């Protein structure tokens, strides 16, 4: 049996739509071994599909098929700390788990670059799957089915405060509200801020993040889908966040804070309730620099 740990990811980071993502210290864990049937169970309170529709299972089977290997079934045991449909890369974590787990069971016929390209193709964009695999802050682009990416570490003083609503927001719905085209001014606006975001998080020039998280391509259209998001942005900024953005497609709102801001978690939860937001949780995370790992269990 093998154990697979895959980190949560936060994509876009405001201005880096479909191109920036970061791995965070929140993990799904999968125990996997070959079986002659479908044997799936959840080890926590999260309900997961127990049949072949399970995303970890179906993705693992996909890799067996690609490699031309016989597939009879899998035994899976899942622990899901990453909340589903909240903009924290839960589907990417399942895809990555299935791919690297199956690849390990097959004695690694695919290299990491192959896995990165396949994961992005299955997900449709690389900004969650690639940081989940590589760790760190990842800038990525796709060209002719190949992912081009760079992963860099984040300044050690940076922390990420995830403000997580109880309500999910399906990515398909969040994408459906986006415009099909944007003006040149808006494109330039985002390009400049996405470049500023990467260099600022890497270098520790955190005073730039208020501007770097600004966006005109997706956040203005998605804010209305997330009840309480405007209040969450205001509360985080009032409590000293360097920058605030919608994580992925939402519904999580992410604040970038300094490690010394130890009161943020409690103060933020208190202020959200004072603003009439009672069903959000706040969780402090740091950047994961390793990415997905596989451990052989005896």
What is the CATH classification number for the domain harbouring 144? 3.30.230.10
246, 265: one domain:
yes
Q: Phi first, then psi: give them for residue 63, nearest 5 degrees.
A: -70, -40
Q: What is the mean pLDDT of residues 135-142?
A: 95
Which CATH number goes with the domain that contains 165?
A: 3.30.70.890
Strands (DSSP E) contained in 48-90 are 74-80
pLDDT by residue (tens digit) across 84-125? Answer: 999 999 999 999 999 999 999 999 999 999 999 999 999 999
145, 292: one domain:
yes
132, 183: one domain:
no
101, 241: one domain:
no
18, 62: one domain:
yes
pLDDT by residue (tens digit) across 230-240? Answer: 999 999 999 99
11, 135: one domain:
yes
Cis peptide before 252 (omega within 30 of 0): no
Q: What is the mean pLDDT of residues 38-52?
A: 95
- CA 90 distance to own-chain centroid: 7
8-state DSSP, 287: B
Q: What is the pLDDT of residue 114?
A: 97
Cis peptide before 251 (omega within 30 of 0): yes
- Using 50, 70 and 90 to split pLDDT, how confident is the model at 202? confident
Give the domain range for residue 224: 158-285
51, 189: one domain:
no
9, 106: one domain:
yes
252, 216: one domain:
yes
């Amino acid at each position: 049996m093998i154990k697979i740990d895959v980190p949560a990811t936060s994509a876009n980071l405001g201005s880096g739509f479909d191109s920036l993502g970061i791995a965070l210290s929140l993990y799904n864990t999968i125990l996997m071994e070959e079986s002659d049937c479908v044997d799936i169970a959840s080890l926590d309170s999260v309900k997961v599909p127990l049949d072949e529709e399970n995303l970890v299972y179906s993705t693992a089977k996909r890799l067996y098929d690609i490699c031309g290997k016989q597939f009879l079934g899998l035994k899976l045991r899942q622990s899901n700390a990453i909340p589903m449909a909240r903009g924290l890369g839960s589907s990417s974590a399942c895809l990555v788990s299935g791919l690297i787990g199956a690849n390990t069971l097959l004695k690694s016929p695919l290299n990491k670059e192959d896995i990165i390209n396949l994961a992005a193709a299955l997900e449709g964009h690389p900004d969650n799957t690639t940081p989940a695999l590589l760790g760190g802050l990842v800038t990525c682009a796709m060209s002719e089915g190949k992912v081009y990416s760079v992963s860099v570490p984040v300044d050690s003083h940076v922390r990420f405060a995830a403000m997580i609503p109880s309500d999910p927001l399906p990515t398909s719905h969040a994408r459906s509200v986006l415009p099909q085209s944007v003006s040149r001014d808006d494109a330039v606006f985002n390009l400049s801020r996405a470049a500023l975001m990467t260099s600022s998080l890497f270098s520790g020039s955190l005073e730039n993040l208020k501007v770097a998280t600004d966006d005109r391509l997706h956040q203005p259209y998605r804010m209305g889908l997330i009840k309480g998001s405007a209040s969450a942005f205001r509360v985080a900024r009032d409590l000293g966040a360097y920058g605030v953005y919608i994580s992925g497609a939402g519904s999580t709102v992410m604040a970038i804070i300094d490690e010394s801001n130890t009161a943020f978690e409690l103060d933020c939860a208190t202020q959200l309730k004072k603003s009439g937001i009672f069903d959000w949780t706040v969780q402090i995370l740091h950047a994961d620099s390793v990415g997905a790992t596989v451990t052989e269990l005896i």
